[in-house]
Amino acid sequence: MKTMQVYTVCSALFFSVFLSGVLGKKVKEPISKDEEVLVLNESNLNQALQQHSQLLVHFYAPLSGESLGSILEFAKAASELNEIKSSVKLGKFDVSKEKDLAKSLNVTTVPSLRLYLNGDKYKPVHCPVLKSSAAIVTWLKRREGPSADLVSDLNQLESFTAEEELVVLGLFKDVETGLAKVFFDVAADIADLPFCVTGSKHIFSKYNIFDDSVVLLRKSKMAEIFEMTSNTVKEDVIHFIRVHEMPLVTEYTGETSAKILNSVVQNHLVLFIDKAEKGFKQIYRAFKSTAKEYRGKVLFVLINVGEPRNGRILEYFRVRIEESPLVRMVNLSDSVQYQLPSDRLDIQTITDFCQSYFEGNAKPKLQSEPIPDGWDEQPVKELVGMNFERVAFNANKNVLVLFYAPWSSESRALFPLFEELAKHYSDTEDVVVARIDVTANDVNIRMVDKYPIIKLFPAVYAERKKVYCVTSHEMTSRVLI
């Protein structure tokens, strides 16, 4: 075979092998995007981790109310980062569709954010709670550079604080080492507040401070101070900031609602009042004065009942405008409410109420609809929270009560039977047949069964109640005999 022929055959064989190798490799498809956010799943997560050295992942569930808001803010953050050409890429992960992978990644809370670095899938940076796109972007920026702005003199500090409601200022004799590092770690985690740091002697003197400290400046004035020691850790400073970041009394608005609900302080004392009413200033002064004593234990909140935009929050608490002013303690850990049992709202009364709450002597607030007109004129008596105990715990009556939910078909199915039963005993003076809507009225009885529930309150002093029956068949067969 001639040399040229050999060369041609070899070239053809080489090209064939090369081409088959290239075609044999599986070409990775690009990861789809929703606006600027990568849509991640089990098949492309590893690919995304390999392609992006910094990948911030939003784990969410579409049907979660909290997830809906975080999805929108996350998308805004992705657009902002894209505009500034950030090296951080954002991706979202629907845990409802990828349950097995979410479990393997130990995702237990949604919505939540995790920052994956250099492709490491199992050691992500767990992000703090970031409610807004601005907080997400700020948190990422602070990770890459100094988390607090360096302030060198008083003029610079005044410029920094001029447009901010609240500023966290760190004063350190050495702004690069020691306790200053703790402060920088805190600033990196709290992305929703502005932070600055200084070693200026003039600024130390301005606030009469001599040791390393963290100061909260509210409208450029010193509001709170935390002196740091060699034992101070990041969590101590975060707790100090979160407890004191809001004023003594915080008015509920669209801007403050998230901070109120996410406060580290779980006990909230809420004043419902119309700010336009004549006695507002006097009551507010008493409320604010009491707040000083319980700082860190109770968050004092004002809800203006005269503000039309507060209609939904008033509906949530079942507070009518004509009931104000009134004060309630709300425990966020169990949502139990306690109403101050007095129409006097002075310092002593409010203080005594707070003290009784912490001593465990305050009684839970039981909600009630208004007592309906003619509630006792029909065969089946209509009970509400306000008249329940008076009727059900009457020692001279045998009272049979249907606890129902209006949306329950099983509850509604019992209405005709209760009407029949009530008519059957209409001439018997010591028997009362009644019903109560438990979705709109609270009663001081523990309910462990599903609705409807039927309970008999017998005409005796010793035994106040017992479950008589829970089905229509049992009710008719036992009671009508």
**Domain range annotation of the chain:** 33-133, 146-244, 249-358, 381-479
Tell me which residues of the chain have a pLDDT lower than 70: 1-28, 64-65, 446-450, 460-481
User: What pLDDT does residue 62 have?
Assistant: 83
Assign 346 to helix, strand or coil.
Answer: coil
- What is the SS3 string spanning 301-317? EEEECCCHHHHHHHHHH
Helices 415-424 and 472-479 meet at what angle, rounded to 10? Answer: 10
User: What pLDDT does residue 365 have?
Assistant: 80
Residue 198 and residue 154 in contact, taking contact as beta carbons nearer than 8 Å:
no
User: What pLDDT does residue 126 have?
Assistant: 80
pLDDT for 178-196, tens place per residue? 999 999 999 988 888 999 9
Compute φ and ψ for 346, nearest 5 degrees: -110, 175
**Residue carrying structure tokens 């956010």:** 37
146-244 matches 33-133 in CATH topology: yes
Burial class of residue 376 in the structure, from the number of CB atoms within 10 Å of its CB (0-12 exposed, 13-18 middle, 19+ buried):
middle
Residue 350 and residue 286 in contact, taking contact as beta carbons nearer than 8 Å:
yes
Name the fold adopted by 146-244.
Answer: Glutaredoxin (3.40.30)
CA distances from 315 to 114, 276, 311, 366, 369 (A): 36, 20, 6, 15, 12
Name the fold adopted by 33-133.
Answer: Glutaredoxin (3.40.30)
Name the superfamily (CATH) of residues 249-358: Glutaredoxin (3.40.30.10)
User: What pLDDT does residue 25 have?
Assistant: 46
Calpha distance 70→55 (Å, rounded): 17
Joined together, the tokens standing for residue 101 give: 């992978």
CA distances from 107 to 49, 59, 100, 101, 129 (A): 17, 8, 10, 9, 15
User: What pLDDT does residue 472 have?
Assistant: 41
pLDDT for 315-367, tens place per residue? 888 787 888 899 999 988 877 889 898 878 999 999 999 999 999 999 888 77
User: What pLDDT does residue 229 have?
Assistant: 94
Count Cβ atoms below 10 Å from residue 38 Cβ, excluding itself: 23
Return the CATH class of domain 381-479: alpha beta
**Residue carrying structure tokens 């209509």:** 382
Strands 33-34 and 37-40: antiparallel
User: What pLDDT does residue 285 have?
Assistant: 96
